[in-house]
Amino acid sequence: MSYAIRSARPGDEAVILAFIRELAEYEKLLDSVVATEESVRDALFGADRRVFCDIAEADGKPAGFALWFYNYSTFLARHGIYLEDLFVRPQFRGRGVGKALLTGLAARAVMEDCGRLEWSVLDWNAPSIAFYQSLGARAAEGWQVYRLQGEALRKLAQ
């Protein structure tokens, strides 16, 4: 199998949305997906672009994606890359596709002098945790993710 990693381009919205939905189904969160092809297009290719996507193709077929954005560490005084989503379709797993997507992001982070590459993983997702650990990634000890959304976000914004 040969595969290639490329930046997403206009026209990829349907495949990116399919990846998002497949990831959400795997994570048992499909009912939380409200993204549409239009919202994906606006986020990735609109005038106010703040998010990026790399697509892995295996033998010319969409195999996986990495959706990411830049963040900033005040402690390091450097930008970093936050990997929002990484997904490889089941039939392509174990063939180096996920590693290639992460290798590309790591290379970008090093080339751009970013201080880190980070992401979150569900605590029950043992296969992904084992994969990340095999690459040298470690959990950020003592940190827990907090989130405001929906009504709690609107209430605080008032």
Question: Tens-digit pLDDT profile for the chain (158 aa)?
Answer: 678 999 999 999 999 999 999 999 999 999 999 999 999 999 999 999 999 999 999 989 999 999 999 999 999 999 999 999 999 999 999 999 999 999 999 999 999 999 999 999 999 999 999 999 999 999 999 998 899 999 999 999 99
Given this model, what pLDDT does residue 140 score?
93
Is the CATH number of domain 3-157 3.40.630.30?
yes
pTM to 2 decimal places? 0.94
Q: What is the pLDDT of residue 2?
A: 79
pLDDT at position 3 is: 87
Among all residues, which ones are annotated catalytic? 132
* pLDDT confidence of residue 1: 67
Q: Where are the beta strands (DSSP E) in 13-155?
A: 52-58, 61-73, 78-88, 117-119
Count other C-beta atoms under 10 Å from residue 138's C-beta: 7
> Scanning the structure block, which residue is given the tokens 């605080």?
156
